[in-house]
Structure 1
Amino acid sequence: MSMLTLEQANKLIGETIDKAVSLSLKPITVVVHDPGGHMIACQRQDGASSLRQKLASGKACGALALGVSSRKIGEMAVDRPHFVASLHALADGGIVPAAGGVIVTDADGRVLGAIGVTGDTSDNDEACALAAIEACGLRAG
């Protein structure tokens, strides 16, 4: 199974935080998980609240569990709220149905893991994740 290395995970986190700083966002927390949902790395900016690590993980793990971004899971929650609510209890790592969790793939579309970002608006969280993925020469799945 292909997966992100610790070096790649740390680079993704650094690029995500750099983007958040450039946009003057609220303090964010960034996690990177392998394809099985296991955390590779996590960092919280100074001032980020303590629950943020679990929220970021829920975004990343949810994306991996369903094979779509956490934004898409949020859209699914509007149409099928009971279905999405039931997933949280079933999924290891939980599921947070809000933008900011993005699957990371290589150029051939192989899933390498996922990144989860939380701390500002969900749109800004996702924008930082997408910018980091691109800056690292990877693709959003």
Structure 2
Amino acid sequence: MAEINLRRARQIIKGIMARGKEMDLKPLSVIVLDAGGNVKAFERDDAAAPGRFAIAHGKAYGSIMLGMAGKAQMARAEQQAYFMAAVNGVFGGQVVPVPGGILVRDAKDNIIGAVGVTGDTSDNDAVAGLAGIEAAGLKGEA
């Protein structure tokens, strides 16, 4: 199975940060996880709040561990709050089920990692995230 290497993770982050600037978003924080949920790379705009690492991680971590992007997680949380509460308990409170958690797929549609973007509205975070993933030649599922 293909995986996200450090070079590709940095390309994703660079693309996300560039899109955030184009959209005039608030300062972003971005994390890239591999298919096992391990941190591959993280970057935070200078003016971003220090607590954004945990939020970005939670968005990406929930996506990779559940195989479900942030928008789908949010819909599930709205329909079955008890399920997402249980899942969050299983994962030690690390899941943030909102847009901005994006699955990363390769050319064969395999999940090879996840991205978490935070700093602006969750929907804007997802837009910037998808743009960065596509700029790195991969497919994103928000």
TM score, norm. by length of structure 2: 0.95
Which one-letter code corresponds to 1:7 in the other structure?
R
Which residue pairs with 2:26 in the alignment? 26
Q: Is 1:119 matched with 2:139?
A: no
CA distance in 1, matches of 2:51, 2:80: 26
Which one-letter code corresponds to 1:111 in the other structure?
I
Which residue pairs with 2:57 in the alignment? 57
CA distance in 2, matches of 1:48, 1:99: 18
How far has the Cα of 1:2 moved from its partner? 2.3
CA distance in 2, matches of 1:133, 1:115: 8
> Are 1:37 and 1:93, in contact at CA under 8 Å, matched by a contact in 2?
no
> Are 2:2 and 2:106, in contact at CA under 8 Å, matched by a contact in 1?
no
Which residue pairs with 1:108 in the alignment? 108
CA distance in 2, matches of 1:117, 1:57: 8
Give 5+ residue unaligned stretches, structure 2. none
Which residue pairs with 1:82 in the alignment? 82
Give 5+ residue unaligned stretches, structure 1. none
Q: CA RMSD in A?
A: 1.2
Identity across aligned pairs (percent)? 38
CA distance in 2, matches of 1:108, 1:93: 32
Deviations 1:54-97 (A, max 9, x none): 11111111001111101110111100011101211212671101
Which one-letter code corresponds to 2:130 in the other structure?
L
1:31-42 → structure 2 map (5 Å cutoff): 31-42=31-42
CA distance in 1, matches of 2:27, 2:67: 27
> Are 1:61 and 1:92, in contact at CA under 8 Å, matched by a contact in 2?
no
Which one-letter code corresponds to 1:5 in the other structure?
N
Count of matched residue positions in the alignment of Structure 1 and Structure 2: 141
TM score, norm. by length of structure 1: 0.96
Q: Return 56-65 or 87-96, whichever deviates more.
A: 87-96
